[in-house]
Amino acid sequence: EVQLVESGGGPVQPGGSLRLACAASGFTFSNFAMAWVRQAPGKGLEWVSGFSRRDNNTYYADSVKGRFTISRDNSKNTLYLQMNSLRVEDTAVYYCARVSYYDILPGYQPYVWFDPWGQGTLVTVSS
Amino acid sequence: FEVTQSPSTLSASVGDRVTITCRASHSISSYLNWYQQKPGKPPKFLIYGASTLQNGVPSRFSGSGSGTEFTLTISSLQPEDFATYYCQQSYTFPKVSFGGGTKVEIK
């Protein structure tokens, strides 16, 4: 069974740091791009960060660029999100997700989607 | 590339036909996905490529559209379909974006 389990969330003061982890199982982790998505209380989904499919480059939403760092350890089947200089507005449930894809035709960008998702870990930034 | 959903809330009854719209700020071809989320749960993937159902998704769900306008339709709403639905554009992957969500509630 494909499974993603996040950990590392909790309360933290503004300006503090946290490192989230996402343990993957049931699939060959190194073969898949991964992403982090967050959801503030009562709000919608916001993409935070992710890896590209082919070249393993990293990408960030403008709201977290320069403060958050995504990384992965394929030997441990684990995805990470290092969060520094946390702000009150970073309070959210953080989900990790596997990037799945369907190749349409040579030369065309594949369809990609996020599936599955972990159960999420809550980060609360408050003084 | 932004995606905007409407309505933000929809009240419907069991058996109703329900349509949710997602509009993109620029053409995204068919790079549009749909997810369902229930309270306290992670999103569940439903549709990719604007219209292709994930395995196991009931056939009462359907998606259509291309370019900048897309729809998710539930042909006959069931009790388990009351949830919030999100569209997601993947045209700019790895940087993707989600719509604001549409809550389908009981009338």
Min Cα–Cα distance to chain B from A74, Å: 19
B103 to chain A, any CB pair closer than 8 A? The answer is no
pLDDT single digits (tens) A55-94? 889 999 999 999 999 999 999 999 999 999 999 999 999 9
pLDDT single digits (tens) A85-121? 999 999 999 999 999 999 888 888 899 999 999 999 9
Min Cα–Cα distance to chain B from A13, Å: 24
Report chain B (107 residues): mean pLDDT per 10 consecutive residues: 96 97 97 98 98 97 98 97 98 96 95
Contact call for B98 and A44, based on CB within 8 A: yes
Q: Spell out a b/e string for B71-107, using b for 16 or more CB atoms within 10 Å of the CB, else e.
A: bbebeebeeebebbbbbbbbbebbbbbbbbbbebeee
A65 to chain B, any CB pair closer than 8 A? The answer is no
Sign of the torsion formed by the C-alpha atoms of B57, A31, A55 and A61: positive
B94 to chain A, any CB pair closer than 8 A? The answer is yes
pLDDT bin (cut points 50, 70, 90) of residue A4 is very high
pLDDT single digits (tens) B74-104? 999 999 999 999 999 999 999 999 999 999 9
What is the largest distance, in Å, between two alpha-carbon atoms of chain A? 52
Pairing of strands A10-12, A121-125: parallel
pLDDT single digits (tens) A19-31? 999 999 999 999 9
B102 to chain A, any CB pair closer than 8 A? The answer is no
Pair B20, B10: CB distance under 8 Å: yes
